[in-house]
Structure 1
């Protein structure tokens, strides 16, 4: 169990920053659980076959701990279909959907009513929260709606400003594909080094400073932007003649440099 505990602790450390990104973009733990199941099934199917053949469904079920019916469903459903409901189960989306669709919360023009924030009002905001079956208090949901700019208080009531909870900014959405590509590349190197001895390990190093002051952080950033960029450009010039021109190549190889400035993932201990 010792090795399993260590793996789970490592997974937890990886998931903390991913959870922060997911919640910022309106995804729930259920959304992440669903895509995790898909990743397990796809990996078991592709990487654990016998004599180069895809793993059969019964073995995928045994490897992943999922039922054979769930494995069959995941293998027969496209990623687009699976992703279609992502974020829709979020409490704020459920609340807003009820507000804009249920006749109890609409005015004569079928627009979302301004709802009183009063427990005594039978069709006020607290009643709306109860209507979606939430075990979260209406005060907490109100603070979240205000934080995302989804409602505005006026004359003792709440006016809905947006008809959906879509927190992702366009600028950040454009950068999100790099999240998967960059983290996947680093974890693939970690996985390779765990499975192979030192003789066949890929280069992987990090330099850590404890308690680096603001001036030191500025110097580190400056050095990376200067020397790091120059080094990457030199690598690009040296190695481009050895790379395939076809964008369809199934393998990518490279190196990444990044600055990190974070709390210790294990809560502060040195071990």
Structure 2
């Protein structure tokens, strides 16, 4: 007998929790920490959902929605605190503009070195295309720290297109969180609210590979994945109002594309 949609969703939820619980066990976090985080997220996400309506956010509504006692709701959330919309990481947005905006390109269309000193520097203009709430010097320092740029003779040159987060795992884990949320929403829509054109969701897996070939395979996947994302950014940027303010149409649409690979066993 076919399972109900509720049963399918519940089993999927158990599967989604497996990697999170494995991570908790690996990092020696006790069960109580997991419960506290779950309660905090129930309150946080309930507030986000209520904020999408015309209703006022208060502990009573959150309590009814989550099943948590009002005392716990108050413990994990101050009523009336504004809900902040999650935005892409500022470094990624700056890199995208540098890559796509012709104002920061040479005559041959390549990303050019930018002036970075003074109030009228080109790098300051680049950062302000993304946000005027963050100081350009802070962005430049972080990009230097991550090995993305090099300064020489008053100019800053982009030497890597993609941030590497091994020096700051918290930023890498933030990307993981975004990837998981996007993947879940994409698959859920495909299964239960399918559009005429579905979301891309493709998995390729081989389980009897020659182990000595794996390092070369990892390198190939990195190179091909980077090339695909470059092609995707070139295409998507044509419909982005931040990069093309003159195009017609209402803004606010969001598109995310993630590529990843995994190889086993680990060294």
Instruction: Note the alpha carbon deviations across 1:96-136, whole angstroms, 9 max, x for none.
Output: xxxxxxxxxxxxxxxxxxxxxxxxxxxxxxxxxxxxxxxxx
CA–CA distance in 2 between the matches of 1:171 and 1:197?
37
1:45 to 20, 44, 47: 47
Partner of 2:184 in structure 1? Answer: 187
Question: What is the 5 A alignment of 1:120-135?
Answer: none
8 A Cα contact 1:45 1:60, kept in partner: yes
Q: Which residue of 1 aligns with 2:32?
A: 30
> Matches of residues 187-226 of structure 1 in structure 2 within 5 Å?
187-199=184-196, 201-214=198-211, 217-218=214-215, 220-226=217-223
Deviation at 1:258, TM superposition (A): 0.9
Specify the alignment match of 1:258 in structure 2: 260
Contact 1:45 1:54 in 2 (8 A): no
What TM-score comes out, normalization by structure 1 length?
0.50
State the shift of 1:233 in Å: 1.0
Say which of 5, 11, 14 aligns to 2:13.
11
**Would you say the 8 A contact 1:46–1:54 is kept in 2?**
no
3-state DSSP class of the match of 1:258?
coil
1:242-271 C-alpha deviation (Å, 9 max, x unpaired): 32449xx977522111113469xxxxxxxx
Mapped contact 1:44–1:55 kept (Cα < 8 A)? no
Residue pairs, 1:71-86, within 5 angstroms: 71-76=73-78
Instruction: Give unpaired runs (5+ residues) of structure 1.
Output: 80-168, 264-271
Tell me the distance in 1 between the aligned counterparts of 2:239 and 2:261. Answer: 28
Contact 1:57/1:68 (8 A) holds in 2: yes
Query: How high is the TM-score relative to the length of structure 2?
Result: 0.51
Deviation string, structure 1 residues 12-56 (Cα, Å, up to 9, x no partner):
322222233334445332222212112222222322568533454
Partner of 1:156: none
Q: Which of the pair has the greater relative contact order for Cα pairs under 8 Å at 6+ separation?
A: 1
Q: 2 CA distance for matches of 1:185 and 1:5?
A: 22
- Provide the aligned C-alpha RMSD in A: 3.6
Q: Rg: which structure is higher?
A: 1
Specify the alignment match of 1:243 in structure 2. 240
CA shift for structure 1 position 72: 2.8
The one of 231, 235, 246 aligned to 1:234: 231
Q: How does 1:144-163 map to 2 (within 5 A)?
A: none
Tell me, which stretches of 5 or more residues in structure 2 are unaligned?
Answer: 82-165, 244-250
Partner residue in 1 for 2:59: 57
Asked whether the 8 Å contact 1:228–1:257 carries over to 2, the reply is yes
